[in-house]
């Protein structure tokens, strides 16, 4: 069995949902060496998250952002954690709901995802800055 682990730094993104599948494939060419395995992608932050969703129509990303903002609004009087602004606590809630990691099967040297699936960085802060990922791949 082979194991590879990479730490990658993403550029800063504005608040919203951003496709990063191509970045991961480019930064981790060792995926090509795995015939059957798994890619585990972990974000080292509590105010951004990862998810898999549609990679074709950009309105999906807009709708996801708009819906989450309605579900988890800013400036709620019961939020106590607001040291870094009105988007601080909502960003942590969104991270807890969507999650800090995803797993994708690897088959014949490629991420084995559906035709319309892509990996998203979900930036929940207005000015979140650069984000760090740890990508671990393993298999035969």
Helix (H) or strand (E) segment spanning residue 80: none
Domain that holds residue 68: 2-139
Give the model confidence (pLDDT) of 1-57 as tens digits. 999 999 999 999 999 999 999 999 999 999 999 999 999 999 999 999 999 999 999
122 within 8 A of 91, measured Cβ to Cβ: no
E runs forming strands in 11-127: 16-19, 36-43, 48-54, 101-107, 110-111, 117-123
Structure token digits, residue 101: 């990691």
**Ordered strands of the 16-19 beta sheet:** 16-19, 117-123, 48-54
pTM score of the predicted model: 0.96
Helices marked H in the chain: 21-27, 58-71, 88-98
Total domains, the chain: 1
Give the pLDDT band (50/70/90) at residue 86: very high
Give the model confidence (pLDDT) of 102-122 as tens digits. 999 999 999 999 999 999 999
Which pLDDT score, from 0 to 100, does residue 83 have?
Answer: 87
Write the CATH number for 133. 2.60.120.460
């Amino acid at each position: 069995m082979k194991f590879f682990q990479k730490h990658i730094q993403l550029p800063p993104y504005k608040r919203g949902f951003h496709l990063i599948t191509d970045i991961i494939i480019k930064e981790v060419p060792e995926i090509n060496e795995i015939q059957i395995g798994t890619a585990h992608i972990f974000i080292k932050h509590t105010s951004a998250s990862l998810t898999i969703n549609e990679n074709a129509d950009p309105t999906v990303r807009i709708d996801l952002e708009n819906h989450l903002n309605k579900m988890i609004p800013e400036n709620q009087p019961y939020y106590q954690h607001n040291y870094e602004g009105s988007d601080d606590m909502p960003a942590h809630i969104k991270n807890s709901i969507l999650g800090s990691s995803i797993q994708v099967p690897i088959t014949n040297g490629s991420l084995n995802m559906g035709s319309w699936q892509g990996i998203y960085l979900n930036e929940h802060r207005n000015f979140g800055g650069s984000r760090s990922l740890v990508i671990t791949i393993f298999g035969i």
